[in-house]
A = this chain, B = another copy of it.
Amino acid sequence: MEFLVRAENLLPNDTPDDVRDQLKKAERARAMELREGGVLKRLWRVPGRNATIGLYAAEDPAALHDALTSLPMWKWMDVSVEALATHPQEKKE
């Protein structure tokens, strides 16, 4: 099943640059793994904000939770999840 995931990144502004850089690198690496695993299907930036909207696929909300909390930035992120139902238009294609 698919989920729409909004994530505001609240990493404090006074985080040292090297810590931030390392986190971003690790975040990207983990995101790439989630892409390869078919969990992270699309990712967009919310223009003007340090925030993203992502389209995820996971077996259930618990599996999604595990995927999101595996992201190194997770503990600084304010995340909201919306479960999506397949639309009949897409079922029939």
Q: In the bound complex, do residue B44 and residue A64 qualify as a contact, i.e. CB atoms below 8 Å apart?
A: no
Collect the chain B residues with CB atoms within 8 Å of residue A86's CB. Answer: 44-45, 60-62
Q: How large, as a class, is the contact surface on chain A?
A: 35 or more
Q: Which 4 A-B pairs have the closest CB atoms?
A: A48-B79, A83-B83, A44-B84, A61-B85
By a CB distance below 8 angstroms, the chain B residues around A28 are 89
Q: How many copies does the complex hold?
A: 10
Q: Give the distance in Å from the alpha carbon of A85 to the alpha carbon of B61 in the complex.
A: 5
Contact digits for A70-89, partner B, Cβ 8 Å, 1 yes 0 no: 00000110111111111101
Q: Which of A49, A69, A75 has the most CB of B within 10 A?
A: A49
- Other-chain contact of A61, B32, B84, B89 (Cβ < 8 Å): B84
